[in-house]
Amino acid sequence: MLERQKQARSSRGLYLLGPAFVAAIAYVDPGNVASNVSAGAKYGFLLVWVIITANAMAGIVQYLSAKLGLVTGQSLPEAIGGRMSRPARLAFWLQAELVAIATDLAEVVGGAIALNLLFNLPLLLGGVITGIVSMVLLTVQDRRGQRSFEYVISGLLAIIAIGFLASVVVEPPPLAETVGGLIPRFQGTESLLLATAMLGATVMPHAVYLHSGLALDRHGRPEEGEPRRRLLRITRWDVSLAMVFAGAVNMAMLLVAATNLRGRDGVDTIEGAHAAVRDSLGPTVALLFAIGLLASGLASSSVGAYAGAMIMQGLLRRSVPIITRRLITLLPALAILAAGIDPTWALVMSQVVLSFGIPFALIPLIRLTSDRQLMGTDVNHRITALLGWIIAALISALNVVLIVLTLAN
């Protein structure tokens, strides 16, 4: 009898996993592909340490976001908006909306590139298709509930993993050089720019806002005491597993570029990288690469739109029809494609823009989860709060240094 109860609790615990895997889509979106492939192709294994560091930071941040939602019964945008005057809320929403636009730019452009690689479709048409499919995926969440949406997104996450991990399995990277990349260092302004882009592609503002709402929508606000403590333990496992999964995919992106693309001409674009992978590892691996990129664009675009709706509702205190919400961030991405701007450059720069939005999400999150009056017994431990402030300070400092070095050159 006792054994059956343990098995039931274990099964129930597994059922409660999922919200972190939806948020994790933000960490394997096309912006990651562009940033990681560019970093590996140009600098080899130099920036391996950035992926490890960014993933560890992301794990801490995502757990704090989920904890805020479960303990307070509010999403992060709602909690922020509730402590601001109307003008301040509008200003905060504006910067968050710009971040959402940069997010969608990366995801729509990435999907368009994948459709071009797979079916030779024009980029603009591919962007339109990506936007439409992402809207269809959102209707799954709207009509079938969050659990069904989690199943769909987790399935796409598995496709993404297969698409990018296949390259590493076929041609494993040299161990000594990979380990050497764990030493933190840069090589000039451009490596710092790429590191910032990689950081922006990993610790993404919209995922920070989103996870609090995902956890709340899925689990509600549990009672204080053992029910909440148990759900927070499960959330830690959920976040840890999702971050390990996403980190492995990100690492695979960089390692395949460092192993197979370094020193080659024309690999500074995703299209060039795809061609080089095909030449080095064969058409099957190249096909998986393109399919992984497409799944990344479709899944991350729908998750990004979901986050945008949550941000708008929390800060503007109004619900917006899904089509309107989708068009707000989709149209700028389509304009970029129509203008003929280099899509890979646009992807990398979108990640830099995202990194500037991180402090606006992180600082309120850390302050709120460190507020004993708000969080009660689940307030951040002093060490957790210290780590949160260090993460926010490091990211902010990196952005300042980037501006100085860029202007100096």
pLDDT of residue 10: 38
Distance in angstroms (rounded) separating the CA atoms of residues 254 and 41: 8
Tell me the pLDDT tens digit for each residue of 303-324.
Answer: 888 888 889 889 988 877 777 7
* Residue among 57, 54, 117, 24 at smallest CA distance from 251: 54
Instruction: Give pLDDT < 70 ranges for the chain.
Output: 1-17, 200-201, 351, 402-409
Chain position carrying tokens 């109307």: 86
Q: What is the dihedral of CA 293, 61, 219, 242, to 10 degrees?
A: 40
Distance in angstroms (rounded) separating the CA atoms of residues 129 and 118: 13
Residues 6+ apart with CB under 8 A from 176: none
In this structure, CATH architecture of domain 17-408: Up-down Bundle (1.20)
pLDDT of residue 13: 53
pLDDT of residue 175: 92
Answering whether pTM is above 0.85, one says: yes
Segment holding 332, helix H or strand E: helix 322-339
Alpha carbon distances (Å) from 121 to 115, 164, 287, 368: 6, 22, 15, 46
Length of the chain: 409
Distance in angstroms (rounded) separating the CA atoms of residues 36 and 253: 6
Tell me the pLDDT tens digit for each residue of 64-98.
Answer: 999 999 999 999 999 999 999 989 999 999 999 88
| In 120-188, alpha helices (H) | 123-144, 146-170, 175-180
Distance in angstroms (rounded) separating the CA atoms of residues 127 and 87: 34
